[in-house]
Amino acid sequence: MNIVEADPKDMSVGYGGLPNEDGIVELDSCCMHGPSSNAGSVASIRDIKLPSRVAQLVLKRTDHVMLVGEGARRFALAHGMKAENLLTDAARRKWLKWKENLSDKDDWLSPKEAETGHEARPTGTITCLGLNPAGELSGVTSTSGLAYKIPGRIGDSPIIGAGLYVDNDVGACGATGRGEAVIISCGSRIVVENMRHGMSPEAAVKDVLKRIVKQTVDPRLLDKKGRPDFEVVLYALHKDGRHAAGSIYKGRQYAVNEGGESKLLDCVHLLDR
């Protein structure tokens, strides 16, 4: 996780992540340790390259689960982490393009549309689940969140039970995609509960994706066919080693390493585009 967080070319997590609407990078991350049933989380943290490491420190070195904003930043500095500007030039240019094209009624003037093309509003998150030979489960999720979000917006990624949940007796689940939908559905926790009640990882993630589709009734969030106009991906790892990932729409993959070469596997899905 730290390798990707530190990579300036990855615009979905850590250093180089796309900023909020003010052009400031705010990061969310959490981790959970199955054997101790303990968790750590940071939300909306600024200036710190590796938020998942701060989340791990919250788990190990505090009596709390979640630190947010300036408190999280000061906690990271207290542990010797460096405050750095996380906005790379590439991310700043993308943000500026978004800002200039936001409205033709403000004072930010963009170059002509024909020159720039349409810029989609990207999201990106990484979740990583692990099972060791002793049968111990752990997980971590990290993100720079929704690009150009309202400052202070927190997604699902730092929320235990939404962007991540680990139960050492059952399994683990992490989530990527539209955080608001994952929070409202308590996505990862429900996937783990589904596995506790006997569902396979595949059935467990599909059940929660169906709930998300059913809960999405606001016309603002629906496409022309009345289906969600966003994506959610849920990744499930059973304590017995079985795993699956599921997306609302066809075409997603997830990475697995069971010793030796890593491989990319297809997600199960609910809907074709």
Residues that bind ligand GLY (CB under 6 A): 123, 125, 143, 145-146, 155-157, 176-179
Closest approach, Cβ 237 to ligand GLY, in A, equals 18
Q: Which CB sits closer to ligand GLY, 171 or 179?
A: 179
CA separation for the pair 18, 27 (Å, rounded) = 10
Q: Which CB sits closer to ligand GLY, 20 or 88?
A: 20
Closest approach, Cβ 51 to ligand GLY, in A, equals 12
Annotation says 216 is catalytic: no
Q: Which CB sits closer to ligand GLY, 232 or 239?
A: 232
Residue 161: half-sphere exposure toward Cβ, Cα within 13 Å: 6
CA separation for the pair 93, 78 (Å, rounded) = 32
Determine contact, residues 58/188, Cβ cutoff 8 Å.
Answer: no
Q: Which CB sits closer to ligand GLY, 17 or 34?
A: 17
Selected catalytic residue, list 125, 127, 141, 143: 125
Residues involved in catalysis: 125
